[in-house]
Amino acid sequence: MNDLSPWLLLAGLGAFHGINPAMGWLFAVALGMHGESRRIVWLSLVPIAIGHALSIAVVVAAVLTLGLIIDQRLLEMACGAVLLGWAAYYAVYGHRHRVRVGMQTGFAGLGIWSFLMATSHGAGLMLLPAVLSLCLAAAPGGELTAARSIPVSLAAIGVHMGAMLVVTAAIAVIVYDWLGLSFLRRGWINLDYLWIVALTVTGFILIL
């Protein structure tokens, strides 16, 4: 637990998710502009954060539950295989399965959209190496236990979400107040390719 690298990884992934327009800030800005209200931009961050956190929590809870009943090395290899499979699927079909939500949606719809987007990106899967490392470090004998894993997992999700929200809010406000969405027409880094690479590398790390 004294090693800060897993926490830094969680925060870094949160910042990456915050930078990615597909994870929320673009929708928050669009809703704010549609409603001509800066307040809507801020309020939109709440369901975006809730949906993203729930998606991650579902994956983490499922994996840690499996970790209580199967060999941990087998669990790591299985998670790595899933990450590689997800990277391949996202590379081939990800652009075809965008979640569509209109500008008239309410906050409930925005929360569902955020949940589905985070799930389709494999956001929870990417946190597994850091979460597993922290849970094993906190457990006596290096074995997963529910009593130790739950608070550590919640803290991990909190760190990730805190970093994501800070970056998402900062970009959303800057774009809404000063830049406008027109700057996206001049070019934007395709973060999907970088995400596919990250999923693939993480998968191999877990397997090897």
For 136-163, the three-class secondary structure string (H helix, E strand, C coil) is: HHHCHHHCCCHHHHHHHHHHHHHHHHHH
- For the entire predicted model, the pTM comes to 0.88
**For the ranges 51-65, 95-109, 117-131, 188-202, which has the lowest average pLDDT?**
95-109
Query: Could you tell me which residues come within 8 angstroms of residue 173 by beta carbon, excluding any fewer than 6 positions away?
Result: 38, 41
In whole angstroms, give the CA distance from residue 158 to residue 136. 18
**Cβ distance 134 to 156 under 8 Å?**
yes
What pLDDT, on a 0 to 100 scale, did the predictor assign at position 1?
44
Query: What DSSP state is assigned to residue 189?
Result: -
What pLDDT, on a 0 to 100 scale, did the predictor assign at position 94?
66
Tokens in use for 104? 């008239």
* Residue 194 confidence class, pLDDT cut points 50, 70, 90: confident
Q: What's the start-to-end Cα distance of the chain, in Å?
A: 23
Residue 15 has pLDDT above 50, yes or no: yes
Mean pLDDT of the chain: 86
* Residue 44 confidence class, pLDDT cut points 50, 70, 90: very high
Which residue stretches of 68-181 are H helix?
72-93, 107-121, 123-138, 146-174
Name the one residue in this structure whose structure tokens are 């985070």. Answer: 118
**Cβ distance 27 to 48 under 8 Å?**
yes
What pLDDT, on a 0 to 100 scale, did the predictor assign at position 93?
77
Percent of the chain residues topping a pLDDT of 70: 88
**Per-residue pLDDT tens digits for 63-103:** 989 988 888 889 889 999 999 999 998 888 765 555 556 55
**Per-residue pLDDT tens digits for 170-186:** 999 999 988 877 766 66
Residue 136 has pLDDT above 50, yes or no: yes
What pLDDT, on a 0 to 100 scale, did the predictor assign at position 178?
83
The CA-atom distances, in angstroms, between 96 and each of 40, 109, 129 are: 29, 21, 28
What pLDDT, on a 0 to 100 scale, did the predictor assign at position 36?
86
Residue 208 has pLDDT above 50, yes or no: yes
Higher-pLDDT residue of 143 and 164 is 164
